[in-house]
Amino acid sequence: MLLGLLAMRKKLKPKNTLTSFKELEDVHIVITGGNSGIGEATAKMLAEKNASVTIGCRTHEKSMNVIEKISQMYPMSPKITYKFLDLSSLRSTKEFVDSLDMKNVDILINNAALWGSPEPLSEDGFEQTFATNYLSHFYLTLLMIQKFNLKRIINVSSGLYYKGEIEPGNLNKLVEVPEKLDKDMYRQLYSTSKLAQIYFARELASRYPDISSVSLHPGLVYTDLARFVKPKSKILSLLGRLLPLIIRTPEEGAATSVFCCLEEELQNGGYYGDCQAETLKPIACDPEVQKRLWDFSLKLVQDKTNSLL
């Protein structure tokens, strides 16, 4: 069994590692979901590169603990700050952007994600996974483009995007809660939201060519992402306890996010993994889906917020 775990670990470990020695002085980065998992590791690694970092999260105490820990690790790094952000609410998303009082933000990392939730609907009445993982990030990004001179937008997607389903003739399905919510459906909803993030990055690249917009996958990483989805058997529970021995650490998962901050030249609209560009599957390359999803998303947030975007 041990040999099997070691073989699986070798297969899942990153193919390439972060090697850049570039510093990020005078660069301000906003990252959503920066108080745990990949987001926390990303914030820590960016602080090590001397970036100024603002994390947007729901939990104040947890976020302040992370900031204190990072500040102790890198006492000479620029300021690390926290602002409240609840991505299940378009109202909170707007308030978050309004609260940002720095002169400029250079890089936005749309990192926060949800897999399964005890609340099926967002504050705005949309299916929770789609609202949190994609739609609020869509709204956040457009607000940030209006307010700041962004240079890069990085969407943390997932290698599971190919299991997503976006039907251009039935986009309303994206915001509706399925009749049956179980483990398989949570995976479907998550995958669909991550597919939408890839399309979003590609359309951003088309509409805002002066901003480098990319999406990426972090690999299979050990985090508390699926904390609301409980194993159905003791065997699955045991396998869950073995995961830290097999899959990537948050730091390994964060490497590609940091790479996309550091790399001089990115493929605008590109998709990255293991600190290099990767080829997308055809499911993420349909221009009709890309355009219709943008128009659909824009109408949703405009109707709910009365915003001019």
Catalytic residues: 190
- Alpha-carbon gap, residue 107 to 105, rounded angstroms: 6
- Alpha-carbon gap, residue 41 to 45, rounded angstroms: 6
- Alpha-carbon gap, residue 70 to 181, rounded angstroms: 38
User: Which residue, chain included where needed, has tokens 């952007």?
Assistant: 97
254-259-262 Cα angle (round to 5): 130
Closest CA to 76 of 50, 54, 45: 50
- Asked if residues 257 and 43 have their Cβ atoms less than 8 Å apart, the reply is no
- Asked if residues 164 and 194 have their Cβ atoms less than 8 Å apart, the reply is yes
